[in-house]
A and B are shown apart, each in its own frame.
Chain A
């Protein structure tokens, strides 16, 4: 399985500022995803980030608010811009793809970034 790290693990930010979350994978992967998970809730897909192309955003999420970079096959960043308390959540990156043909759809998650906006 892929080993995924995220930085920072948590942060407390002031309203109106921006935070960039980094996601690093130990192997090259095509598909990377960014999710938001609010306390006690399921995972909501923000966008899909593929290397070499613009990220694809889900309904309700826009690039101006959540710009994403994907400079190579092992790294991605998600920025939460102009933050408000409603952005307080856990943000998770994930990758798709196992090491064998039978596991090619498997999804692995990073440890998450717990964001609190005051």
Chain B
């Protein structure tokens, strides 16, 4: 089955700086890669996603890049704000299932 690894497990940045979270996957059949943000006590919320036929996608301060050859994808958050503080999960999708990374706790210091 698919194996998704996520790094770092915790990330602390100063407000206004950029944050990058990286994930690798093992199964080349995976074709959809969503990112979720989970605030304390809340459900995971989809914030951005990318499909295997695209190399990069951007939505305001958030971007995701995908390198299919190397089997890794990354989440980039620019101009971080305190409200970006949360746990972020990457996932890979294939054969009708989502495989999640272990999560990154992002702390944005004001």
Contacts and interface: CB of A to CB of B under 8 A. Distances in A.
A and B associate in one complex? yes
Interface of A: 31, 33, 41-43, 45, 48, 92, 96, 105-112
Ranked 7 nearest A-B pairs via Cβ? A109-B43, A105-B32, A42-B100, A43-B100, A42-B102, A42-B103, A109-B44
Q: How many B residues touch the partner, as a band? A: 10 to 19
A107 B43 contact: no
A45 B96 CA distance: 12
24 contacts: A33-B98, A41-B102, A41-B103, A42-B102, A42-B103, A43-B44, A43-B89, A43-B100, A45-B97, A92-B44, A96-B96, A96-B98, A105-B32, A105-B34, A105-B49, A106-B34, A106-B46, A107-B46, A107-B98, A109-B43, A109-B44, A110-B43, A111-B43, A112-B43
Q: Is the interface of A mostly helix, strand, loop or mixed?
A: strand
Interface in B34-65: 34, 42-46, 49, 51
